[in-house]
C-alpha cells in the first residue's frame, strides 16, 4: 500500500508547491528581472530535497527571469516553509520551459502548411 501512496503524495506536494510559488512570486517578489512568469510544473525528488520549477515568460527575457528567480530561490523557499506543512521543503531550481514557445512555432508551421495546401486545391 505504501508504494502506491508515495508517488501520489509526491504529485500532491509538487502541485501545492506550484500553487504556493505562483502566489508568492506574484505577490511578494519585487525583482524587476522577473516579469510575468507562468509556472508550468514542478518536479520534486523522492527525498523532497530538491524541486525543479519549470516556468515560461509572457514578457521579458527568459535568461534574466531565470537569474532573478534562482537568486530569489532562498526567499521563496522561506515563504514555502510558512505555507507548507511538510518536514522538508525542497531547495528550488528554476528552469525555463520552452514548450509554449515550441507549440506556437508548431502551430505556425501547421497553419502555413494548411494554407499552402488550400492554395494548391
Q: How much is the pLDDT for 104?
A: 75
The span from the CA of 68 to the CA of 75, in Å, is: 11
Write the CATH number for 43.
3.30.300.20
Domain count, the chain: 1
In terms of residue numbers, what domain contains 103?
2-120
- Check whether 6 has a pLDDT greater than 70: no
- pLDDT for 35-79, tens place per residue? 899 999 999 999 999 999 999 998 889 999 999 999 999 999 999
- Check whether 2 has a pLDDT greater than 70: no
pTM over 0.95: no
Output the DSSP codes for 92-106: EEEEE--HHHHHHHH
Amino acid at each position: 500500500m505504501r508504494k502506491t501512496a508515495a508517488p501520489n503524495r509526491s504529485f500532491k506536494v509538487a502541485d501545492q508547491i506550484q500553487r504556493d510559488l505562483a502566489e508568492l512570486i506574484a505577490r511578494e517578489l519585487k525583482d524587476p528581472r522577473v516579469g510575468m512568469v507562468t509556472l508550468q510544473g514542478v518536479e520534486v525528488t523522492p527525498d523532497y530535497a530538491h524541486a525543479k520549477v519549470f516556468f515560461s515568460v509572457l514578457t521579458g527575457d527568459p535568461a534574466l527571469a531565470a537569474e532573478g528567480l534562482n537568486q530569489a530561490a532562498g526567499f521563496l523557499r522561506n515563504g514555502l516553509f510558512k505555507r507548507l506543512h511538510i518536514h522538508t521543503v525542497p531547495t528550488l531550481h528554476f528552469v525555463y520551459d520552452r514548450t509554449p514557445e515550441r507549440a506556437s512555432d508548431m502551430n505556425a508551421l501547421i497553419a502555413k502548411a494548411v494554407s499552402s495546401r488550400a492554395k494548391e486545391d
